[in-house]
Chains A and B, each alone.
Chain A
């Protein structure tokens, strides 16, 4: 196992390509912690935004005008503003305005730390897009199918869960995949509020060791692989949900 760090050390000495991450244990640990944080952010934001998106799409097709207006307002706010600005607003803006607790020594301690704010902000951002994506799937379900469900005695919520959503997801899955891939990459924005994810860790490493190009390549390769894994998982899910004879 020692062969790998040695090889990278030799690579640096012979060619000048400095991949400190692979031969310096401190940098390697920071990189791995960054990867773990990226995975945590991605998984939690994907799951939360899916739930909010599905709930939002349900309310959007419902009878209550007030609730429809609220969901549309939510979509407008979070789609029309840049995600980085949203992050700053939540962390620096709302963080100051919300009530805070105090530590044992009397210092102000905010209720939510930067990781929690990042998860909230990114989930809401992606959920706004998911609401519209689910709406596109829901509108593809024929009106006659929904009427048939009503005739069979399904309540609106049960029909949504058992009839509409399964069909809708199959239709909107490609667009949903797009958005989830975008979300995974958008988690890099959390570096701006000092969340120790992959970009933050590598940025610190390259400003200390002056090996910007090598770390940039590693960063691109890392996200390429992460997104590749996500896309593979989504494709497996697509194939698992395939209705025989329904698609081409």
Chain B
């Protein structure tokens, strides 16, 4: 009898605790709670990284802050990475994600993407200034370091004819480039822009080429959270209208991308 009572208490509390691990809250619940919880990156300069005091700062925390301001609530940032961000959203640990997440069909099946897509990354080459490369076609026949397994290595090799020298990870190619084994490093433009903000790289290296192979990023909320989805869609359109994202890029030292600028142009005239 005692065991039965004990078991039923455990069972009921388990079920009750499950109820709190529901999908993230909608707008009213967030306003009532008084805090917006946003998942952002903490290791991807300048989109989400830690300042010397340890606070998470960057373009995406600023965007999250603007959303919280519009809702009239406080902002709470939760650091995430590529392997746990979707799970955090699904478990309700965060209300939304702004975490450098590329738009992929598999992801759209499990989270709600916010249209219009707020940003896009490109593929670019961090080049040695002395290499004298000003156009993608100048890469023909030259040795270019890359990260093994990247989806664009073959495309770039076929389009422009560089000799791709690929290593595992993203430290070895940079090191090989420093030694002079290749003239540049082919990688995601946002990562290379982050490197250009460091003194170690900005003196001798540059990004003279225009980014290619546009790959949009998506903000996400949990499936079914239609009130927050609507609010974010309107917010994104407003950002593009006012050019907020372009200003943020300039603030954090990133050359505004073609995507942000063209979206700003597109929405500027609209109501």
Q: Which of B128, B166, B175 contacts A107 (CB 8 A)?
A: B128
| Contact of A96 with B167 at beta-carbon distance under 8 Å, contacts A207-B148, A208-B151 already known | no
Q: State which size class the interface on A falls in.
A: 20 to 34
Most buried by A among B149, B179, B181: B181
Q: Using a CB-CB cutoff of 8 Å, which residues 120-165 of chain B contact chain A?
A: 128, 130-132, 145, 148-151, 153-154, 158, 164-165
Residues of B close to A193: CB separation below 8 A? 167
Docked-complex contact A108 and B180, CB < 8 angstroms: yes
Q: When each residue 75-106 of chain A gets 1 if its CB lies under 8 Å from chain B and 0 otherwise, what string results?
A: 00000000000000000100110001001011
| Contact of A113 with B158 at beta-carbon distance under 8 Å, contacts A106-B130, A194-B166, A204-B148 already known | no
Docked-complex contact B176 and A96, CB < 8 angstroms: no
Shortest distance in angstroms between A4's beta carbon and chain B's nearest beta carbon? 22
Main secondary structure of the interface of B (DSSP, over half): mixed
Main secondary structure of the interface of A (DSSP, over half): helix
Which chain B residue shows the least CB distance to A101? B180
Residues of A close to B210: CB separation below 8 A? none
Instruction: Confirm or deny: B202 has a beta carbon within 8 angstroms of a beta carbon on chain A.
Output: no
Residues of B close to A26: CB separation below 8 A? 154, 158
Most buried by A among B150, B151, B154: B154
Which chain A residue shows the least CB distance to B145? A194
Most buried by B among A107, A192, A193: A107
Q: Using a CB-CB cutoff of 8 Å, which residues 12-66 of chain B contact chain A?
A: none
Docked-complex contact B179 and A110, CB < 8 angstroms: yes
Q: Which of B130, B165, B181 contacts A110 (CB 8 A)?
A: B181
Shortest distance in angstroms between A98's beta carbon and chain B's nearest beta carbon? 10
Instruction: Confirm or deny: A147 has a beta carbon within 8 angstroms of a beta carbon on chain B.
Output: no
Instruction: Confirm or deny: A203 has a beta carbon within 8 angstroms of a beta carbon on chain B.
Output: yes
Residues of B close to A109: CB separation below 8 A? 180
Docked-complex contact B158 and A107, CB < 8 angstroms: no
Instruction: Confirm or deny: A114 has a beta carbon within 8 angstroms of a beta carbon on chain B.
Output: yes
Docked-complex contact B131 and A105, CB < 8 angstroms: yes
| Contact of A194 with B180 at beta-carbon distance under 8 Å, contacts A105-B130, A203-B148, A204-B153 already known | no
Residues of B close to A103: CB separation below 8 A? 130, 180
Residues of A close to B130: CB separation below 8 A? 103, 105-107
Docked-complex contact A107 and B180, CB < 8 angstroms: yes
Residues of B close to A194: CB separation below 8 A? 145, 165-167, 176
The 5 closest A-B pairs by CB, nearest first: A108-B180, A207-B149, A194-B165, A107-B130, A105-B130
- List 10 additional A-B contacts (Cβ < 8 Å) besides A26-B154, A107-B180: A95-B179, A95-B181, A103-B180, A105-B131, A107-B130, A109-B180, A114-B165, A194-B167, A204-B148, A207-B150
The residues of A with any CB-CB pair to B shorter than 8 Å are: 26, 92, 95-96, 100, 103, 105-110, 113-114, 192-194, 200, 203-204, 207-208
26 CB-based A-B contacts, threshold 8 Å: A26-B158, A92-B172, A92-B176, A92-B179, A95-B181, A96-B179, A100-B179, A106-B130, A107-B128, A107-B180, A107-B183, A110-B180, A110-B181, A113-B181, A114-B181, A192-B167, A194-B166, A194-B167, A200-B166, A204-B148, A204-B149, A204-B164, A207-B150, A208-B151, A208-B153, A208-B154
